Structure 1
């Protein structure tokens, strides 16, 4: 009993001896401590909406922008962008046909290129052959005009009594060669049409062919004939000049004898 009373008196004495300010500070610390402990605890972030995606740069709970919502699928695309994307997908899908269809297209394009190549060959053959034929016809016309002039000169010499047998014979040979050259050129011109028809008929054929060979051979024959006509004309002109010299010598000798 005495011990209990002593303890009670001791506690009462301590309380009476402690200042009121110290008691108030102790009570304030006791009330603030739980609040500080609550503030030091980590904050719990709210969960993201269903279907939203997060990245390291975007922690959970960050407000979602329009771009993020569109990328995550939580927000629909604008109608114009959606139409553009659908059109792009359609074009990409139409631009990649199946393997078999692509092979057929490649074969068709290759066949078209071969057809155009054959067509160009026939057109080139026609153009070059006609150019050569035109040149040979022009050469024949010039040779014939010169032959006419030689005939006119021979006629004048005959009137003067000059012997022009050699020149007349050579001019006749020239006329024959001119006729042969005209026939050869006509044959070459006819071969052009046949070669072009053959080239068109063999378009797309896998068998190699030389449709221009007959045309080249005919043109070579025509060229040789024209050259022969020209050579005959040269011989006729040379013989005519010889007759003219003979006439000059005879005229000079006659004049000198008359003077004497």
Structure 2
């Protein structure tokens, strides 16, 4: 609305300035024209002024009408706003009233409960008594379960001990069988080595007698035989130690841990048997080599002749 009023004022000012400029243009006419038109101009100017006045009046009337319309619109808006505010206030009052009614309706049962406070206390005491009884029952059940658990633990420990004893018995049997099997094999090997070493020893004696004049040197074979006999004796000592240690191993609670020493003795005996066998083989090779050398020396002079 304000924009419309401003636009109307600007239009009026523009028309007024246009008429003023037009009047100035008439005054700037040449002197001869002015003198000729002096008699007729007053009539024309008066008519124009009247027209302009009418236009200005109409413009003012329009402005007044617009102002009146604007004021009426403002009044209408104010009245609408007042009505809306009134409606909002009434709505708030209604909501507040309903809230208070609800609050009061809730408050009444609370008053009733307060009156019955004695009954509530009695109920609370009954509930506490029931809880105490339940707690006692739970404690008794827990005690029973603990006693059962302790008995179960003892039974499990007994079963474990019995199982351990059975396992130990089985382990002892396995250890005994293993040691018997190993010592039997080692003794058999030593018997064979001893028998062969005796045969080689007797063979060396016979060869030395037979080739006494042939420079037969079997000293290396004799040394190797001595090594063989020494290793055989060492192996038999280890086997004896094994048989003596078996009793101690079997009498322990954990035969597997005590079997370590026996295992070391078995390894020592096995190494001695291997060394004895190797020395015997080398002794036999030395005898054969020396006999071959003597035989080749004996054949060479015959071929030369």
Pairing 1:211–2:258 present: yes
CA 1:256–1:160: 2 relative to 1, 3 Å: farther
Q: Give the whole-Å Cα distance in 2 for the aligned partners of 1:164 and 1:134.
A: 34
TM-align CA RMSD = 2.2
Pairing 1:240–2:287 present: yes
Offset at 1:102?
Answer: 5.2
In the alignment, what sits opposite 1:224? 271
Q: Give the whole-Å Cα distance in 1 for the aligned partners of 2:247 and 2:291.
A: 48
Contact 1:140–1:226 under 8 Å retained in 2: yes
In the alignment, what sits opposite 2:110? none
Length-normalised TM-score, structure 1: 0.54
Question: What does the per-residue CA deviation read over 1:186-210, in whole Å, with 9 as the maximum and x for residues that have no partner?
Answer: 112211122112x2xx26xxxx971
Offset at 1:116?
Answer: 0.3
Candidates 175, 182, 185, aligned match of 2:236: 182
Question: What does the per-residue CA deviation read over 1:195-228, in whole Å, with 9 as the maximum and x for residues that have no partner?
Answer: 112x2xx26xxxx971111111111111111111
Question: What does the per-residue CA deviation read over 1:74-124, in whole Å, with 9 as the maximum and x for residues that have no partner?
Answer: xxxxxxxxxxxxxxxxxxxxxxxx936555444332221111011111211
Higher helix share: 2
Q: Give the whole-Å Cα distance in 2 for the aligned partners of 1:181 and 1:229.
A: 9
Pairing 1:142–2:189 present: no
Q: Give the whole-Å Cα distance in 1 for the aligned partners of 2:152 and 2:270.
A: 51
In the alignment, what sits opposite 2:162? 112
Q: Give the whole-Å Cα distance in 2 for the aligned partners of 1:103 and 1:173.
A: 62
Contact 1:191–1:218 under 8 Å retained in 2: no
Contact 1:150–1:237 under 8 Å retained in 2: yes
Unpaired runs of 5+ residues, structure 1, are 1-97
Which runs of structure 2 are paired with 1:5-24 in the superposition (5 Å)? none
CA 1:122–1:209: 2 relative to 1, 3 Å: closer
Looking at both structures, which has the greater relative contact order when contacts are Cα pairs under 8 Å and sequence separation is at least 6? 1
Q: Give the whole-Å Cα distance in 2 for the aligned partners of 1:119 and 1:156.
A: 55
- How many pairs align? 154
In the alignment, what sits opposite 2:222? 168
- Is the radius of gyration larger for structure 1 or structure 2? 2
In the alignment, what sits opposite 2:297? 250
